[in-house]
Amino acid sequence: MPADLRAYACGHTHHDIGGLVRGARRERRTFPSNVFCYTDTGRRILYDTGYAPPPWRTGLAGRAYRRLLPPVIGPGADVAAQIDPAGVTHVVLSHLHPDHIGGLVHFPHATLVLHPALLATLARPRLTDGVLPGLLPDWFDHARRIVVGEFTPGPFGLATYDLFGDDSYHLVDLPGHARGHLGALVAGRTLLAGDAAWGRDLLDQVDRMRTLPRLITADGAAHRRTARHLLEAERRGARLLFSHDAHPTGVDLL
């Protein structure tokens, strides 16, 4: 069975680009919350799970988040309405922000793939981590999981971890945006870059972020280095797909 990669927009938010990046024109953009589903022989791997439909039981922190980045989850936009949970074998969490973990509740039988820094974040979350524990399912602490081991030099000069030991799915260390931020390199050259930038056209503008997005960035210096590494990887032939760009639905992206 040939490998297959598809994107599903599981809700979206919107924000003014000029409010994110210094010098950008005032333009209100829709940012879809994409889930990437990679299928090969015997495995179906989700990269993130999108937004959770309301209601959110997340208290004051959740209300503040929804005011800053209002989530829109229309009928049929939930991940479980687009991908059969029964067929999913693994769920990779790129990081713990609400637009990436909201649909996790649907996958209690999948194996979770986590950067160790995600577990450290949950143990001692900071306000700027943007974590809403109420969105995590009650079975999270008891789920089958793979905690990523040591990253080593990999394709395109990136720090990678061969998840299955067969070169089919490499996790990529993309520090900066959030603690334990993970990307994934699939089929040799397609790199799921998560939130390393709000979109491909903004990747070379990471160093021009305004105060608010800088405040919710885990490590600004690491974020800028990650952006440079991704630009170099692209020059060397990697194809970058970001979580909040628009991607065609129902199409094999490989």
Asked if residue 111 belongs to a domain, the reply is: yes
As a whole number of angstroms, the longest Cα–Cα distance in the chain is 48
The burial class, CB within 10 Å (0-12 / 13-18 / 19+), for 200 is middle
Element (H, E) at 23: none
Of all residues in the chain, what percent carry a pLDDT higher than 70? 100
Do residues 88 and 44 touch, judged by C-beta distance below 8 A? yes
In angstroms, the Cα distances linking 121 to 117, 136, 236 are 6, 13, 33
Asked if residue 23 belongs to a domain, the reply is: yes
Q: Please tell me whether the overall predicted TM-score, pTM, comes out greater than 0.95 for this model.
A: yes
Banded pLDDT at 117 (limits 50, 70, 90): very high
Domain count of the chain? 1
What pLDDT, on a 0 to 100 scale, did the predictor assign at position 216?
A: 83
Asked if residue 195 belongs to a domain, the reply is: yes
Banded pLDDT at 25 (limits 50, 70, 90): confident
In angstroms, the Cα distances linking 71 to 67, 100, 199, 230 are 9, 12, 17, 28
**What is the chain's mean pLDDT, rounded?**
95
Banded pLDDT at 224 (limits 50, 70, 90): very high
In whole angstroms, give the CA distance from residue 104 to residue 109: 11
Which residues, in sequence order, are CB contacts of 136 under 8 Å at separation 6+?
A: 101, 104, 122
Do residues 129 and 65 touch, judged by C-beta distance below 8 A? no
The mean pLDDT of 155-173, rounded to a whole number, is 96
What pLDDT, on a 0 to 100 scale, did the predictor assign at position 4?
A: 96
* 162, pLDDT greater than 90: yes
Asked if residue 82 belongs to a domain, the reply is: yes
Asked if residue 102 belongs to a domain, the reply is: yes
* 40, pLDDT greater than 80: yes
What pLDDT, on a 0 to 100 scale, did the predictor assign at position 236?
A: 97
The mean pLDDT of 228-237, rounded to a whole number, is 97
Q: What is the CATH number of the domain that holds 188?
A: 3.60.15.10
Indicate the Cα dihedral angle 171, 175, 179, 184, nearest 10°: -20
Which residues, in sequence order, are CB contacts of 30 under 8 Å at separation 6+?
A: 12, 13, 14, 246
What pLDDT, on a 0 to 100 scale, did the predictor assign at position 128?
A: 85
* 180, pLDDT greater than 70: yes
Which domain, by its residues, includes 116?
4-242
The mean pLDDT of 224-242, rounded to a whole number, is 97
* 15, pLDDT greater than 70: yes
Q: Which is nearest to 92 in space by CA: 52, 48, 29? A: 48
The mean pLDDT of 80-87, rounded to a whole number, is 97
What pLDDT, on a 0 to 100 scale, did the predictor assign at position 215?
A: 80
Least confident segment among 24-38, 72-86, 201-215: 201-215
The mean pLDDT of 140-148, rounded to a whole number, is 97
**Structural tokens at position 173:** 């260390």
Banded pLDDT at 1 (limits 50, 70, 90): low
Phi first, then psi: give them for residue 244, nearest 5 degrees: -115, 15
Q: Which amino acid is it at 2?
A: P
What pLDDT, on a 0 to 100 scale, did the predictor assign at position 2?
A: 85
Asked if residue 253 belongs to a domain, the reply is: no
How many degrees, rounded to 5, is the angle at CA 80 between CA 137 and CA 83?
130
* 109, pLDDT greater than 70: yes
Asked if residue 202 belongs to a domain, the reply is: yes
**Structural tokens at position 249:** 């639905």
Asked if residue 247 belongs to a domain, the reply is: no
